[in-house]
Structure 1
Amino acid sequence: MAKATNTKPRQVKNFGLAFFFLGLIVIAVQLINYIITVMPAAEDAVLDVGDGTTIAVSSLSSSYLTLVIIALLVYGGTWFGVIRSMNWARWIAVILAILTAVLAVQSFAQVVAAGFSDMVGLGLSLAQLIAAGWVLALAFRQDVHQWYGKKTQSQTQS
């Protein structure tokens, strides 16, 4: 019995799942940042940004809410393209995974520099790094590459 040609290979499905988790983690991080800024304890808290300049944590609320919305739109739109087997979405997913990995390494370095005092930050940066690595590991597998390449060829022929 022949296998249907339109059935997604397992690794293609895993690629979509990996990108979903990556987007979920990125959105969760931004949502946590937003929630922290609207907590009552944040009213008096300030961040020292260097040179004696301080910023009230509560004033960052609208910025973090904007980042949550942008992350939802970008990662959600890309995930929709990934599950619809659009090749452009695979490349956007790769770019987003690379950016997330770089930012996760930076966040991890900050946690290490602070003497591992921020365990939540450590956990979130490691989760982002693992999810980004999962996406990148699957994006260039031969069966995933062929699946998205096949979809591109069939779209240009019709």
Structure 2
Amino acid sequence: MQKQPAQQQPKNAKNLSIAFLILAVVMIGAQLINVIITLLPSAAETTLQLGDGTTASVASLRNAYITSLLFLLLLYGAVAFWVYKSKNWARWVAAVLALLAAFGGVQGIARLLAGSGTDMVGLALSLAQVLAAGWVLSLAFRSDVHEWFKKQGA
């Protein structure tokens, strides 16, 4: 008996895996920058004004940043793996994460533009976040991608 050749994965389904991986790198990279900054001796004495009017030292946020980094690494890593494996539920989770990332990126851009607008790294990260999230969302619901993931989930 001859084996049936495996159906070729559509290019857009492959691109979805790449786009989500890039979004994961942007999200994890932004948190990694926060961790690196909190580890710098010069930043340890810096205080931040929080939204409710209170202040916090950068050093006191170190554990929160490290915890966030590990959480994002596990979450985005697991979802990226399952998107690569063409699981339909992972495509939906990736779309929800991309939507949340897009909202966060737009909020970051708005906050920077409303303020002094001098944080170029923050602006670049927010723009990268919005672009990567938009790419994921534009691919996640294409008909060829939808059909591919639906077939793989069956």
TM-score range, shorter chain: over 0.9
Partner of 2:25: 24
Cα deviation digits, residues 96-135 of structure 1 (max 9, x gap): 0000000001100111012321111110000000000000
Residue identity matched to 1:128: Q
Partner Cα distance (1:26, 1:115) in 2: 23
Match of 1:56 in 2: 57
Q: Give deviations 1:56-95, integer Å, cap 9, x for gaps.
A: 1111111000011000100000001001010110000000
**Equivalent position SS for 1:47:** strand
- 2:100 aligned partner, one-letter code: L
Deviations 1:21-75 (A, max 9, x none): 0000000000001111110111210012256521111111110000110001000
Matching residue's letter, 2:63: S
**Equivalent pairs, count:** 151
Runs of 5+ consecutive residues of structure 1 not aligned to the other structure: 154-158
Equivalent residue, structure 1, for 2:124: 123
Q: TM-score, normalised by structure 2?
A: 0.94
Unaligned runs of 5+ in 2: none
Quickly say closer, same or farther: Cα 1:52–1:13, change in 2 above 3 A.
closer
The aligned residue for residue 78 of structure 1 is 79
Give the counterpart letter for 2:119 in structure 1: D
Question: Amino acid of the residue matched to residue 139 of structure 1?
Answer: A
Deviates more, 1:21-30 or 1:43-52: 43-52
Identity of aligned residues (%): 48
Aligned to 1:6: 7
| Alpha-carbon RMSD | 1.4
Paired amino acid for 1:81:
W
Name 1:137's counterpart in structure 2: 138
Aligned counterparts of 1:41 and 1:133: Cα–Cα separation in 2: 36
Decide whether aligned partners of structure 1 residues 25 and 51 sit closer, same or farther in structure 2, where only a CA change above 3 A counts.
closer
Which position in structure 2 is the counterpart of 1:149? 150
Distance 1:107 1:4 in 2: 47
Question: Matched residue of 2:49: which SS?
Answer: strand
Structure 2 counterpart of 1:112: 113
1 CA distance for matches of 2:7 and 2:53? 61
Matched, 1:45 2:54: no
Change (3 A) 1:52 1:82: closer
Quote the Cα distance in structure 2 between the aligned partners of 1:107 and 1:51: 17
Residue identity matched to 1:54: T
- Compared CA separation, residues 50 and 108, structure 1 to 2 (3 A): closer
